[in-house]
Amino acid sequence: MYVNVTKGNDVSFLAQLVTTTGQPVDITDIEIYCDVVEYNGTKVFSAGIQKVSPTDGLFRIIFSRDKTSLLTSRKFYLMDILLVLPDGRRRNLPRGGIVVRVYEPVTSR
């Protein structure tokens, strides 16, 4: 899966956590973290997370403009989502991360 990001812009994505059968997962008691990393594993920044509708598994991933300005145009990064369950177990979703493609902002001449 790819996500397109324009360098220097505020960006947010709405995501939903569901079971393999498509049922929403209640994320009220689940901690969610999102890191943007280079392919070599170097962490670039942590994204903001906002729970929108926890009982429906909906949350928003937020990249502020000061964070996206740290990204290099025409480069690919990985977005790793970490879930910390109430019993302390940790799960990375999705396996392998989500690829972030970075574009230079378009300006009018």
Domain ranges of the chain: 2-103
Contact predicate 37/80, CB 8 Å: yes
* pLDDT tier at 10, thresholds 50, 70, 90: very high
Q: For 30-68, write each residue's pLDDT tens digit.
A: 999 999 999 898 999 999 999 999 999 999 999 999 999
Q: Quick one: CA dihedral 6, 12, 16, 17, positive or negative?
A: positive
Letter for the amino acid at 88? G
Contact predicate 36/79, CB 8 Å: yes
Contact predicate 107/7, CB 8 Å: no
Above 80 in pLDDT, residue 95? no
Containing 81, the helix (H) or strand (E) segment is: strand 76-84
**CA separation for the pair 27, 24 (Å, rounded):** 9
Fold assignment, 2-103 = Immunoglobulin-like (2.60.40)
Above 60 in pLDDT, residue 108? no
Q: What's the confidence (pLDDT) of residue 71?
A: 93
